[in-house]
Each structure stands twice: as C-alpha cells, then as structure tokens.
Amino acid sequence: MKKYVKKAQPVERIVDILRRLYAFERLHVNVMAEQYRVDSRTIRRDLKKISGAGIPLLSKRGEYRIDTSQLSRMSRLPSALLHAFASNAGLSIECLGGSGEGIPLISFAIAYSGIDKQIAESIIESIEKGCKCRFVYTNNRNITTTKMVSPVKLYTAKGKWYLLAKEDTTAQVRPFDFLKIRDFTLLANTPQDLTPEEIVKANRRASIWSNDDAMPFDVRIYASAYATRYLKEVPLHPSQQLDMPHNDGTAEFVYTITHPMELLPEIKNWLPHLHIIEPKLLRDSLREDVEQYLREMSEMDK
C-alpha cells in the first residue's frame, strides 16, 4: 500500500519532508523516492536544500533524521518548533512573504491542545535515547492497566494526539490516546526492541487506524460534482485515486485501506455527497449507522 499516489510538487514535497523530520522520523532516501514518485537524486537535492537552510540533519547509509543536539542553537526557528511533535497531518503550514531575495519563508503552526508538556518531552527523550517507558493507561472500555512500550513517535490526527509505540505484551506497534496516559516513567536502562522494519512500517501509516499487518482492501466511492471538486484538491485519504471522472462533474474514487475507520468518519462528514459503491459490507455498516442516527433523532423529536 503506497502512501503517496501522485507526484508531489517540489515545495509541497520539501514541506512534507520537513514535517516528517520534525516528527522525529528516520527517512531513507530510496523509500522517500518511491513514496513521492521521484528519483533518489531529487530527494538528495531536497535534503541538501533543507540542510542548507540551517536545519541540522544526521545521515547514515542513506537514512536521514533531525540532529536534536543542534536544535537549541537554531536561533531562526521559533522556540515552539524546537520540540515540535508534529506528525502526518498535524501541521498547519503557512507560506509567508519572502526575504529581500524573494525566498519564501515557511512557518509552522502547531496545535498543542491536550498535550501534557512534561509527558511529551519525556516521550521525545525516550525516543532519542532509544529506551523504553512505562505508564498507566485507561482504554475505551475504561479498563486501566500498566503498559511498557518502545515509543516510535507522537502522532496527531483530527486534533487528537497519540503515542505510536510497540507494546511489550503484544509485541505490536499500536496507538495510545495521549489524554489517557498518566504516571509516565522513562526507563533509561531498558533499551527499546524496535526493529528497523517496524519503524519504517510505523512511519508509513496512512492513518492512526491503518495497520501494515492487516490485509488491505479497496473501497470505491461515488462523489457528487460538489465533493469531486474538493477531493481533487484535498484527498479523503492518502491512498485516494481518481478512477473514473464523469462528464457531469461527478467521479468515482478508489481507496486502499486496512481498517474501516480509516475512511468511514470522513465519508460521514460528506453525506449525502458520497456513496459507497463497494465493498457491500462497508456500505451496510454505513447504512446501519445512519439508520440508528435517524431512529435516535426520531425519539428525540417525540
């Protein structure tokens, strides 16, 4: 399953690489070349531009990451950026007016609502030191347990923040709702057991619900002309492909996902402008949710 389905424009690509670097991802040149659909030389030129702009990078065997030891010396960057926990869609990017040479400046606006600064900084320290951590966690069923994990990164989606980490008991990389973490302890003498493959898979996640270990499946959606115009500019999901444009402005889009929740909430936001053509199971699930909503609304109106 590919994360990027169209060739990104140069500025868009560089901004996205910057965003991922500040999410503390480790980015390999060849993997990025495949994701952005350009050759490896183009990616190396992008990284050279980023480095030339004063962003400190470390590289080893084609893998690049932020040199966190140098961040505090970067006077041109806002202090908030020094500990930016931005991830996949977590940055609002604003291109400001250029300098006297006409070079555009890029500023990052990062939403920190719901972030406990002390816990967040401890997580980043755990990632940097390559050690495990322990915390008390309350899941959606209100069950509280103690977790020992190897953190990968902080991830933000739709205004919510998550810790993406490998859990010791299940040996699976999974998300933890940041607001449900408490009593966080850094285990400085306990090294992480993440493999390079697990880190790459985690960083390739298309959404907080996606899972590289699950079997991917395709979803075909019919979009009204109104929705089509918007989706051509802002994809519903990173895997979006325009499969069948129609003369009346409507279109059919295809998405590849591993979990229904990657797409269902987005589809609900666009009702009645989107219709699931297939698979039938997903269409039936949406119908049940809508029918339940209508029943509840009818009860409220009585």
**Phi, psi (rounded to 5 degrees) for 54:** 100, 5
| Residue bearing the bigger pLDDT, 102 or 115 | 115
Predicted confidence (pLDDT) per residue in 278-294, tens digit: 999 999 999 999 999 99
**What does the mean pLDDT of the chain come to?**
79
Give the separation between CA 65 and CA 47, rounded to whole angstroms.
Answer: 10
Predicted confidence (pLDDT) per residue in 24-70, tens digit: 788 999 999 998 888 999 999 889 888 776 678 888 888 998 876 66
What percent of the chain lies above the pLDDT cut of 70? 78
- What is the gyration radius of the CA atoms in the chain, in angstroms? 21
Please state the separation of Cα 54 from the chain's center in Å: 25
Predicted confidence (pLDDT) per residue in 137-187, tens digit: 998 889 999 999 999 887 766 667 788 899 999 998 888 988 899 999 999
Please state the separation of Cα 9 from the chain's center in Å: 19
The position carrying tokens 């989606």 is 157
| Residue bearing the bigger pLDDT, 147 or 3 | 147
The angle formed by the CA atoms of residues 157, 158 and 163, to the nearest 5 degrees, is 30
CB 281, CB 264: distance < 8 Å: no
To the nearest 10 degrees (0 to 180), the angle between helices 10-21 and 40-52 is: 70
CB 60, CB 53: distance < 8 Å: no
| Residue bearing the bigger pLDDT, 175 or 79 | 175
> Is residue 302 pLDDT above 70, yes or no?
yes
Give the separation between CA 291 and CA 295, rounded to whole angstroms.
Answer: 6
Of the given ranges (69-78, 205-214, 216-225, 245-254), which has the lowest mean pLDDT? Answer: 69-78
> Is residue 12 pLDDT above 70, yes or no?
yes
Residue 285: predicted pLDDT: 93
| Residue bearing the bigger pLDDT, 212 or 222 | 222
What's the one-letter identity of residue 83? H
Domains of the chain, with CATH numbers? 10-110 (1.10.10), 117-203 (2.30.30), 217-292 (3.30.70)
Structure confidence at residue 206 as a pLDDT band (50, 70, 90): low
What percent of the chain lies above the pLDDT cut of 90? 38
Residue 264: predicted pLDDT: 92
Predicted confidence (pLDDT) per residue in 259-268, tens digit: 898 899 889 9
